[in-house]
Amino acid sequence: MYPSRFRYEAPRSIAEAISLLSDGGDYAKVLAGGQSLVPLMKLRFAAPDLLVDINNVPGLAYHQADSDGTLRIGALCRHSDLERSELLARTQPTMAAAAPLIADPIVRNRGTLVGSLCHADPQGDWASVVLSLGGSVVAQGPAGRRTIPMADFVTGPFENLLAPDEIAVEAVIPPAQGARSGGYLKLERRVGDFATVGVAVSVETEGGVVRRAGIALTGVGGSTIAATEAAAALTGQPLTAESIATAAGLAASAARPRTDHRGSAEYKRHMVATFVERILSRPSAEPAERAA
């Protein structure tokens, strides 16, 4: 309930934040939404020496589409901004399905998508969504900016590729290669629960043929899993009951779940397959439910 002591800085620019991180010493963390970090600190599972609070840096709260359809989400864009976003509702079915399922409505007012990606919790929902969309994270450090594909960004549970003096300033979703469809289904026992199983599916179709697909899995392995074979099984052909079933089976095989109090490994694999089928068999215009 009570964090251990730390130093705190509240810079007003990214440059200042980077410089604080560079000088910060052994163990510094960036504070954005704080809805993952502060709880860890209260339980003393995390005890940084320095917190660099970026909430006072202007110009980071955006989410917007470029003219070519690239979607950019700033570091201080909150989950609730995305939940209420008309842009997402119109153009990003997988993201729109996931946004209401993050934590609970009050936590969503503070928590950020970019922060969630950086936190790299294997049970984090956004990582699967961004992975399924082929997204990236833009990092800024003393040497400038670089773009890190989501597939490379997470290096282990709660570990990411950022250097100690780098800050993630933006998440980027590439433009679609056709009409977008897809969704996110999450088996949570109640609002605010971590996913027992979460599945993000994104499909881009042109001329009746799937040009690009992405499937990623939450909570069924040591980290978010990109079910690349399953996605590949959908690509280059129309979506049919057969291709969906194949993809569902491959996605289940890609999962590495553990048997625990949330269910058997067999059940979790089965749910992966079930979710893939349900997302792909239902029109993407329908709003997502929690499970089924």
Q: What is the contact surface with other proteins in residues (CB under 8 A)?
A: 1-8, 10, 31, 34-35, 38-39, 41-44, 51, 53, 55-56, 103-107, 109-110, 187, 189-194, 196, 258-265, 267-268, 270-271, 274, 291-292
CA dist 159 and 148 (Å) reads: 14
Q: Which is nearer to other proteins, 190 or 283 (CB)?
A: 190
CA dist 15 and 80 (Å) reads: 27
Q: How far is the CB of 103 from other proteins (least distance, A)?
A: 8
Q: Which is nearer to other proteins, 75 or 148 (CB)?
A: 75
Q: How far is the CB of 220 from other proteins (least distance, A)?
A: 13
Q: Which is nearer to other proteins, 285 or 292 (CB)?
A: 292
Query: What is the longest distance spanned by two Cα atoms in the chain?
Result: 59
Q: Which is nearer to other proteins, 196 or 223 (CB)?
A: 196
Q: How far is the CB of 225 from other proteins (least distance, A)?
A: 17
Q: Sign (positive/negative) of CA torsion 267, 269, 275, 277?
A: negative
Long-range contacts of 90-94 (CB under 8 A, 24+ apart): 91/65, 91/180, 92/133, 92/173, 92/180, 93/180, 93/181, 93/182, 93/183, 93/202, 93/284, 93/285, 94/129, 94/132, 94/133, 94/180, 94/182, 94/183, 94/184, 94/200, 94/201, 94/202
CA dist 182 and 250 (Å) reads: 17
- Six-digit token string for 266: 């067999």
Q: Which is nearer to other proteins, 62 or 206 (CB)?
A: 62
Q: Which is nearer to other proteins, 43 or 143 (CB)?
A: 43
Closest CA to 206 of 254, 161, 239: 239
Q: How far is the CB of 92 from other proteins (least distance, A)?
A: 21
Q: How far is the CB of 249 from other proteins (least distance, A)?
A: 15
- Six-digit token string for 167: 């800050």
Q: Which is nearer to other proteins, 148 or 199 (CB)?
A: 199
Q: Which residues pair with 148 in a beta bridge?
A: 137
Q: How far is the CB of 279 from other proteins (least distance, A)?
A: 13
Strands 50-53 and 28-31, bridge-based pairing: parallel
Q: How far is the CB of 239 from other proteins (least distance, A)?
A: 20
Q: Are 169 and 74 in contact (CB under 8 A)?
A: yes
Strands 144-149 and 154-156, bridge-based pairing: unpaired
